[in-house]
A = this chain, B = another copy of it.
Amino acid sequence: MNHSPFSFAFLQGAITPTHIAEIVQQNAAMLTLGAHSLFLGQVRADEKENGSITAIEYTCYAEMATAQIQKIITLHSTQYALKSVFIYHSIGTVAIGEICLCVAVGAAHRKEAIEACQSIVESIKKEVPIWGREIINESTSIWKTNHFSSSQ
């Protein structure tokens, strides 16, 4: 695990509860930090036309995605005076019931932590070149769509 309090990594497969505990542990070392706000995205067994989703397969444009997330971290850290930002996103296959995204923000006070965490999640979904393919069964899959798409 990276020991900078502002870090991002792609993880192969699901993000585990142990990863989350490690992030929480890192924030606990910071004595001016009063609030953690965490968002975890989890793969849902949604019903589609040909059956229900069993997993999502994530691919990304790695160099650009990393650069975009670093920009998002820098922007929010400054704007909200954050003490820490840890972001994990899964690459590859994540089964239903498993976690594919973790955004963990630390700040002195709750308002900054909560607002920054929410804004970072929205930015990741809008601005970062990652794609999810929803797997229905062996022969069927659907490209996932977020509630908004890039404005370009």
Chain A residues close to B by CB (< 8 Å): 17-18, 20-22, 24-25, 27-45, 96-99, 108, 110, 113-114, 117-118, 121
Contact = CB atoms under 8 A, between A and B. Distances in A.
What DSSP secondary structure best describes chain A's contact surface? mixed
A83 to B, nearest CB: 10
Given A17-B22, A33-B44, A39-B37, A28 B121 contact: no
A97 B39 contact: no
Number of copies: 2
Residue in A28, A33, A43 with the greatest tally of chain B CB atoms within 10 Å: A28
B36 A36 contact: no
A65 to B, nearest CB: 20
B40 A35 contact: yes
Contact of A38 (B31, B36, B45, B121): B36
